[in-house]
Amino acid sequence: MNLPDPTPVTDLIEAFRRSKIMFAAVSLGVFDRLHESPAGAAELAPAIGVDADALERLLDACAILRLVEKRDGVYSNHPVAETYLARASPHALTGYIRYSDAVLYPLWGNLESAVREGSHRWKQTFGFDGPIFSHFFRTDEAMREFLLGMHGFGLLTSSLVAAAFDLSRFRRMVDLGGATGHLTIAACERYPQLRGVVFDLPGAAAMAREQAARSPARDRIEVIEGDFFRDELPEADLYVVGRILHDWSEEKIDVLLRKIFDRLPHGGAVLVAEQILNDDGVGPAWANLQSINMLVITEGKERTLSHYRQVLEGVGFRNVEGRRTGSTLDAVMAFK
């Protein structure tokens, strides 16, 4: 009897081990210390306050995962770790990695219950009724690191989203829930006629001002504090919602899109930046995994282009078109 190759199963059995190795090394500051200088396990252990033998095993595991390099017992960061796992890097993803470790990892531990009940797992996991981020980000430093981690993700995708459609016809873009402003910055740097507004809550707005000030397009970028559900939207002929709609139920999406539609002038548009599922709901893999992530942490999900078209046209938008960007974030545009 010829048995099928068990690799897909055995890989998944140990997949969480690989993630947790990276999470632990980031949390312990391994990559930050190796950013300062290469070191052996015996030298590094007292510097970060851990057991030397256990650290050597962790470092060797990081080496086999190609996160660090080992030569003659001395470890150094692999370029990928130096870029994305050392907090000193402008492209660091460490804030989101720490959030994944402290928040998402426990939430995913209750995935079975989420599937049974069809709802997020905040109450079951942490005793809260919803994603009360202030509980997890008690300090400005923790919030800052998380936002910078999201900024790092944004840098990987925003220039591609900004290039997915020709935005040269628009004059003023408002990025709702724009966080650190990475998409606004990318769009304004690509289109010299475009003025951009980052519209977000005060904590994120402060970071957006800091990031915008570093851009050559800074004179065309404004940051306005506000809540897109509660407050009047700033005037624009292009509204952007990036990684926003997947957080919310159909009812709340409808409320937000109607608010955008009513505020737009004729000929204006909305640009949706989300992971678009294939029409049959299977793939791309990143979108399916993120849709499960939305199940355990929000009331939303990832959607197909057909689904977005139905929702947008239901509000009154027309000429709905989707574009794959080749990254983990796609684009949908619709006009009033």
Each domain of the chain, given as residue ranges in start order, spans 7-86, 157-335
Query: In CATH, what number does 7-86 get?
Result: 1.10.10.10
Class of domain 157-335: alpha beta
Contact 146, 176 (CB under 8 A): no
Confidence of residue 245 (pLDDT cuts 50, 70, 90): very high
**DSSP letters along 135-203, please?**
HH--SHHHHHHHHHHHHHHHHHHHHHHHHHS--TT-SEEEEET-TT-HHHHHHHHH-TT-EEEEEE-HH
pLDDT at 143: 80
Cα separations (Å) of 132 from 124, 268, 310, 324?
A: 14, 35, 31, 33
pLDDT in tens, 150-202: 888 898 999 999 999 999 999 999 999 999 999 999 999 999 999 999 999 99
Question: What is the value of pTM for the model shown?
Answer: 0.94
Find the distance separating the first CA and the last CA of the chain, reported in whole Å: 61
pLDDT at 121: 94
Structure tokens at 200: 């977000």
Active site residues: 246
Structure tokens at 41: 């396990």
What is the average pLDDT value for the chain, to the nearest integer? Answer: 95
Name the residue with tokens 């000929």: 267
pLDDT in tens, 262-276: 999 999 999 999 999
C-alpha to C-alpha distance for 99 and 102, rounded to whole angstroms = 5
Structure tokens at 328: 């983990």
